[in-house]
Amino acid sequence: MAALGGKLTKKLVENLGPGRHGDGNGLYLVVDPSGARRWIVRVVVKGQKNKKGAPLRTDFGLGGADIVTINQARDRALEYRRMAKQGLNPRFAATREIPTFEEVAQQVHIERLPTWKNPKHGQQWINTLRDYAFPKIGRMPIDSIDQPEVLMCLAPIWTDKHETARRLSQRIKTVLDVARSKGFRSGENPVTAIKDAQVLPRVSAKPKHHKAVRWQDMPRLFEVLSGRDGMAAKALMFTALSASRTTEVLEMRWEELDVEMGVWTCPAERMKTGSAHRVPMTPQMLSIVEELRAMNSEFVFEGQKRHRPLSNMSMLMLLRRVTNGDATVHGLRSTFRDWASEVANAPREVAEMCLAHRVGSDVERAYARSDLLDKRRVLMVRWSSFVSGREGKFIDV
């Protein structure tokens, strides 16, 4: 016998806001603040009492709403109520339908979307599983996946795409851990067992170094760029002077600039650290952006398309043309760091904060609240003066 219809509809299930929404007969849709949706049923088990002697009401989870349809939830709720009326506790008597690996992975992805800095990171998380895990184990019941199944996913790419394989193993482990926490699995996580047993060969990590321009060559590079009128040259000059990351500069908007205070505040969503970062703007940096204000664009460094930022490839290709080499834009940050150590003798924490790096342990950062803006301004003014060929005498920072 199928479950009777209730108050909720498929459209309501997909669009209702946070809270507990009743369907009738003890069935509820629970929507978390994160947007995750799940079914629960409240039943009274015959013969069971609470501490006050009243009938015992208990809630039981029926699964995520993206996996369990409204009709399936009603059927399961009906089964639970029948058990309760017979004096059987559904927690021990109900037969649970085991979801597939892909179903659990999709649910984990939805539940964790609010924790990622931006949707791109969340999409990369599920795409890795989609490309390398779902074709092999996606349709398998989550409780049947063990070491051989995990190795089917990891072994083919472990050497050739080691970084991808490493991330894949972490994401498979997360899915299996969540499945265990929801009662769909038991025992040790096979990913952990594989790692502990060193089943897969050891792969030496190859550090990725961005090719950098020598700091001694920066004045000449800046001179060449100053002779060019294109937007790529101006963006590259600003990037070099600010020692910032490419995306931080290219997506810079006018409202982020406080010209009077000489500060650019890059918002948290564009920062690798997830925290807003203040950049002291030197006279050379201000001169570059002020020339562009008349363009009346949303972005400071506008690309060929109106109200769209300049492409990052524009800066890279220009840098390689003028240096006749394989230098990278990101490598200019290393150039600044080398100069700060070898020439300016800048304190480590000042130089690292110029690069928006985290300095010290979590405890140290908790007590060191200042971003050292004034000290960083002195260093960045000296750097701008050196790069632009106007260096004179400066006070040590």
Select from 201, 143, 195, 144 the least CA-distant residue to 169.
195
Amino acid code (one letter) for 302: E
CATH pick for 215-387 out of 2.40.10.120, 1.10.443.10, 2.40.30.10, 3.40.50.720: 1.10.443.10
**Between 373-387 and 231-242, two packed helices, what is the crossing angle to 10 degrees?**
130
- If you count DSSP H runs as helices and E runs as strands, how many of each does the chain have, helices first? 18, 7
pLDDT at 254 over 90: yes
Give the confidence band of 210 by pLDDT, cuts at 50, 70, 90. low
CB 318 within 8 A of CB 232: yes
Computed from CA positions of residues 154, 159, 161, 167, in that sequence, does the dihedral angle turn out positive or negative?
A: positive
Domain with CATH 1.10.150.130 in the chain: 101-197
Percent of the chain with pLDDT over 70: 87
pLDDT at 4 over 80: no
Dihedral, CA of residue 13, residue 19, residue 22 and residue 26, to nearest 10: 120
3-state secondary structure 29-67: EEECCCCCEEEEEEEEEEEEECCCCCEEEEEEEEEECCC
What's the confidence (pLDDT) of residue 2? 43
CB 337 within 8 A of CB 355: yes
Burial bucket for residue 214 (CB in 10 Å: 0-12, 13-18, 19+): exposed
CA 209 to chain centre: 22
Sheet holding 257-258, edge to edge: 257-258, 263-266, 277-280
**Between 312-323 and 231-242, two packed helices, what is the crossing angle to 10 degrees?**
90
Domain with CATH 1.10.443.10 in the chain: 215-387
Give the confidence band of 96 by pLDDT, cuts at 50, 70, 90. low
- What is 101-197's CATH number? 1.10.150.130
pLDDT at 395 over 50: no
- Please write the tens of the pLDDT for every residue from 295-328: 888 999 999 888 889 998 999 999 999 988 778 9
What's the confidence (pLDDT) of residue 256? 95
Give the confidence band of 1 by pLDDT, cuts at 50, 70, 90. very low
What's the confidence (pLDDT) of residue 51? 66
- CATH 3.40.309.10 is the classification of domain 10-93: no
Six token digits for residue 313: 């490839």
Tell me the whole-structure pTM to 2 decimals.
0.52
Amino acid code (one letter) for 118: N
The torsion angles phi and psi of 244, rounded to 5 degrees, stand at -100, 170
What value does the mean pLDDT of the chain take? 85
What's the confidence (pLDDT) of residue 393? 35
- Please write the tens of the pLDDT for every residue from 119-144: 677 888 999 999 999 999 998 989 88
Higher-scoring residue by pLDDT: 43, 56 = 43
What's the confidence (pLDDT) of residue 62? 82
Distance in angstroms (rounded) separating the CA atoms of residues 192 and 180? 14
Q: First CA to last CA across the chain, in angstroms? A: 80
Helix, strand, or coil (residue 47): strand
CA 158 to chain centre: 23
Distance in angstroms (rounded) separating the CA atoms of residues 185 and 141? 10
- Please write the tens of the pLDDT for every residue from 318-377: 999 998 877 899 999 999 999 999 999 999 999 999 999 877 666 455 545 678 999 999
Of 78-82, 110-114, 288-292, which range is least confident?
110-114
What's the confidence (pLDDT) of residue 50? 67
Domain with CATH 3.30.160.390 in the chain: 10-93
Cβ neighbors of 273 (< 8 A, separation 6 or more) are 356, 357, 358
CB 6 within 8 A of CB 23: yes
Give the confidence band of 394 by pLDDT, cuts at 50, 70, 90. very low
